Amino acid sequence: MFSDDISLEGLQEELEECKNDEEVANILSKGTKLREYTKGVENNVRQVELNSIQDYITESDNLLLLHDQIRDCDIILSQMETILGGFQAEIGSISLEIKSLQEKSMDMGLKLKNRKGAESKLSKFVEDIIVPPRMVDILIDGEVNDEYLRTLELLSRKLKFIEVDSMVKGSKALKDIQPELERLRQKAVAKVFEFINQKFYALRKPKTNIQILQESVLLKYKYVIHFLKEHGKEIYIEVRAVYVDTMNKVLSAHFRAYIQALEKLQLDIATAIDLIGVETRSTSFLLRGREPLKYRSSVFALGERINILKEIDQPALIPHIAEANSVKYPYEVLFRSLHKLLMDTAASEYLFCDEFFGEESIFHEIFSGPFQVIDEHFNTVLPNYYDAIGLMLMIRIIHQHQLIMFKQRIPCVDSYLDKVNISLWPRFKMVFDMHLNSFRNANIKALWEDDVHPHYVMRRYAEFTASLVHLNVEYGDGQLDLNLERLQMAVDDLLVKLAKTFTKPKSQTVFLINNYDMTIAILKEAGTGGGKMQEHFEEFLKSNIGLYVEELLLEHFSDLIRFVKTNASEDTSTTTGKPSVADVDPLVKDFANRWKVAIELMHKDVITSFSNFLCGMEILKAALTQLLLYYTRLSESVKKIPGGSALNKDLVSISSILFEIKKYSRTF
């Protein structure tokens, strides 16, 4: 073997691959020569081969038996192959038959579907167009009850079917069935017309509770109206007219009777001559018939009449009960009761008409009569109604009623309530102007009384104004405020004229103070709404109290006041003709001798002059305080006069005067 024939290329890679082989690793580790190792391997292989031959010879009988068994299996498998081939042929034949059956099934399914569709339409058509004998019997001879109404609905569906469905119009069946359906329609229309008219006429029976009859009877048969609307338009119009006429007359008579009963309960509060500026001694007051004197104050004062606004949603009055108890009411109570009944009746009728007839316009046709009856009554009452407070109460009642109807979302009487409100305001303005003119045209001589206490005209004014202010608190009506300002200017002028009829200025001032004080007290009761007018009179009261204090002090201490105002200036050094002890001595001694008596006289004067005790005490306190101020200035002047110290023994101490003032303050 030559080196040129041996190639070692790739040897390293093969060694790397075989380094993990156990045999190779063993040879390399022992250093065994390759030829020796190969010879050993060949000997081993030959020995294995000899052993295998010996094993084969030993197992030859078994191998022969295995060969026979394999041959038998092959025969059996051949037979099975033949059988399976027959099965395959038969299955192929069956597959063709199944495919044929599938095609026939699909064809039959399509035919069945088409036939079912046709049957469905045809059965619906037959069901909708056929008239069962039972249906004919019920519509012609049956009573109008729940079963009749269901049958009526069935007839309605059949009539709509032949009118709407285009397929029906071209069918021959229509020619046979249409005359029968028309006869049934006519018979049903005639029957329900007679039936519903009988129910409507039941509403005319006296003492019938209309609302119960509507809810428990008529609403059960509302489908009758629906049927007539669709299939008997002319008859429906006639039925509608019958109901409108019936309810119009029934409700008109009902409200007319109620108004007549209410009129017997009316309490007349005011007439055309019950004005603020009219004298109470007028003979006309004595000549005319009046209600009991306890109601006189209601002409100008609100009083308990305000409660009607708190009872706004109470049930309407029952006249015969009130009449049996001999109870009478101001007109605003009757007005609220009448309109409460109107709203309840109108709301009930409006909802019924909407549900029963399905239209709102019928309500206005029905209530044209009741509205007219109430208008006639109102037009009779309003021109002769002179109660301004009552008118304002009615305006507020209408406003509250409008809010109630708005919350209930029932608009049926909105226009009527607006009309009533519009008619009330001009009347209120006219009556208010009558009161205003009674001030402007007042007979001062007839009104004057030789009494400095509050005048009855001023009390009327205060109560009247406070009433209107109270009724305007939650509404803030600017027009009413302007009218009250006009009235205020007129009463200011009248009060000054009445005051001037007193000959003494002091009496004039006392008269004004008493009237201003009384007016303020009454306005305070009206709440914050009278604030502006209250401030107006408080300014007048303050200025007149100042005048009265000066007049009262001048009456008892005129020399002292005259001296103080003339000589006791801030800078006596610049005053020409300085006072001397001789000038001051009589004043000091006179005051010391009678100041307590004078204060007691002032106290008595105040007690007898002023109606309001507390106001009188405040005035007395102001007078005594002013007196203390005058006397203090006199004492200071005495100290500045040369030789004035000689008068100290006659000067009353300031503490003594303060003690006396406090004594009167503690007393009251």
Q: How far apart are the first and last CA of the chain?
A: 161
Q: What pLDDT, on a 0 to 100 scale, did the predictor assign at position 496? A: 93
Residue 101, pLDDT above cutoff 70: yes
Nearest to 219 by CA among 413, 408, 342, 351: 351
Question: Which pLDDT does position 295 carry in this prediction?
Answer: 46
- Among the listed residues 403, 407, 533, the one whose alpha carbon sits nearest the alpha carbon of residue 475: 403
Residues 164, 169: Cα–Cα separation, whole Å:
8
Query: What does the pLDDT look like over 218-276, one tens digit per residue?
Result: 888 888 888 888 888 899 999 999 999 999 999 999 999 999 999 999 988 888 888 88
Phi and psi at residue 267, in whole multiples of 5°?
-105, 120
pLDDT in tens, 542-592: 999 999 999 999 988 888 888 888 875 544 444 456 777 888 888 888 888
Residues 6+ apart with CB under 8 A from 562: none
Give 153-197 as a DSSP string.
HHHHHHHHHHHH-HHHHT-SHHHHHHHHHHHHHHHHHHHHHHHHH
pLDDT in tens, 140-173: 888 888 888 888 888 888 777 776 666 666 566 6
Q: What is the pLDDT of residues 117-131, one digit of tens each?
A: 766 665 666 655 667
Give the integer Cα–Cα distance in Å for 65 and 305: 136
Contact between 208 and 202 under an 8 Å Cβ cutoff? The reply is: yes
pLDDT in tens, 53-93: 888 888 888 888 888 889 889 899 888 888 888 888 888 88
The enclosing H or E element of 267 equals strand 266-267
Query: pLDDT at residue 281 above 50?
Result: yes
Q: Which residues contact 613 (CB under 8 A, 6 or more apart)?
A: 607, 668
CA distances from 333 to 265, 374, 400 (A): 10, 15, 14
Whole-Å CA distances, 462 to 508, 514, 544: 20, 13, 19
The angle formed by the CA atoms of residues 544, 517 and 631, to the nearest 5 degrees, is 45
Measured in whole angstroms, the distance separating CA 294 from the mean position of its chain's CA atoms is: 38
Q: Can you give the pLDDT at residue 294?
A: 40
> Closest Cα to residue 435, out of 278, 295, 268?
278
C-alpha span between 300 and 435 (Å, rounded): 10
- Model confidence pLDDT, tens digit, residues 609-629: 888 888 888 888 899 889 889
Tokens, residue 221? 């048969």
**What contacts 622, CB < 8 A, 6 or more positions away?**
545, 549
Burial track 367-379 (b if 16+ CB lie within 10 A, e otherwise): bebbbebbeebbe
